Amino acid sequence: MRLRRFIYTVTMYLLTPVILYRLAIRGLRYPEYFSRWRERFGFFRDPKIRDSIWIHAVSMGEVNAAMPLIDALMKRYADTPFVITTVTPTGSERVRRVYGERVFNVYLPYDLPASIRRFLERVRPRLAVVMETEIWPNLFFECQARSIPLIVANARLSEKSFRGYGPVRPLAKSALASARYVAAQSATDAGRLRDLGAEPERLGIFGNLKYDMSVPAELDAQAHQMRATWGARRPVWIAASTHEGEEESVLEAHAAVLHRFPDALLLLVPRHPERFKPVVQECREAGFATRTRSEDRMAASDTQCFVIDTLGELLRFYAAADVAFVGGSLVPIGGHNVLEPAALSVPVVVGPQTFNFVEITASLIDAGAALRIADADELGATVIELLADAPLRKRLGTAARAAFEREQGGVLRTLEIVARVLDTPAGTNSAG
């Protein structure tokens, strides 16, 4: 295993110039990738904290999933400093917007031993909580060497990701086996994680933390206010977390919707900030009267497309929509979080590509809470069907909310494991 780790580490060092090149290319489209690059090698100001609880969440989606757990941990361990790492600027921005100075936020360093050591020496965690599928061998081994207990929370592993480990699977297996506990989302995830290397006695099925997201009480009032501004009786649908290759299909669907409902409004929310300007241009070139959240703040009565080119506001616009199409599902991205509209009783439409959310999506469809379309050609017709049938929308929305509430409780179960791990004497490797 030492030889495997040596080869892996050398490969990571050799790939560093390529990684930096990709970072620079992304920075040309989204300048935030240029800033704070030293953090990616473990160089940042010493926050002068010790015995922190450290949570790692890759991007905005993982941050949103982690928030119920973070909030619960901050309430239970109020006197403990918290560190939250991300990989993307959108994730970091979300952390800073929600938690501000209550947490110390930096980028997670690349999986290079020296970079990881610099990071750990500065934040000195008493516990590491890694969200979902972030299995970085050097990170896991360095935590083990320093007797820092590591929990993989909300753990999931798709069949595609499982196969993707390929030649590094033995190393990933050893790394995952070093985790103090792995809290899997589902039985399927638990089976794959066990096959990858999680120790059966430190592996459990805890459900998806996304089900424990809180719905702000003021959302309903905000939604009514927005709809009053752009026209209270207008049909409104939202295409959320869309990717390149999907927006064109969404706009074609909206053209069909407008033919049936001339006053309909599309709320279009690109997944990545670098897509904001191109999507706005695409809407205008397609001939739609278009406004943006950043420049116009709100849609008007004659707006046909309203592009949400800001971060952290998706939930409030879900609340103001009659129908929600969740993107990343018409292209081979694997889909995105369908639970946010479900929690708000909004009917959900997804495409065929939902391999990253197989069980959640299937549970909503089986509960009569969501509709799956076979391809982009069906999107317009399906949205029209839902906008034309208020009882159907009501039925789907009620079923979606019921399915959401049925699966809650993952945060409390994860908190129990955290408490057991923190109460376990140093040097042992059991959650109790």
Residue 385 is a catalytic residue: no
Angle between helices 169-177 and 187-196 (to 10 degrees): 110
Residue 98, class by beta-carbon neighbours within 10 Å (0-12 exposed, 13-18 middle, 19+ buried)? middle
Q: Which of 39, 62, 246, 247 is catalytic?
A: 62
> What is the rounded distance in angstroms from the CA atom of residue 140 to the CA atom of residue 144?
6
**Secondary element (H or E) of residue 152:** strand 150-155
Give one DSSP letter per residue of 91-128, joined into a string: HHHHHHHHHGGGSEEEEPPPS-HHHHHHHHHHH-EEEE
CA distance 104 to 188: 34
- Token code pair at residue 317: 């616009």
- For the record, the structure tokens of 201 come out as 């006695």
Strand order of the β-sheet with 52-56 is 104-107, 82-86, 52-56, 125-131, 150-155, 181-184, 203-205
DSSP 70: H
* Nearest-angstrom CA–CA distance, 404 and 210: 9
Amino acid letter, 45: R
3-state SS of 300-336 is: CCCCCEEECCCCCCHHHHHHCCCEEEECCCCCCCCCC
Residue 88: count of CB within 10 angstroms of its CB: 22
Active site residues: 62
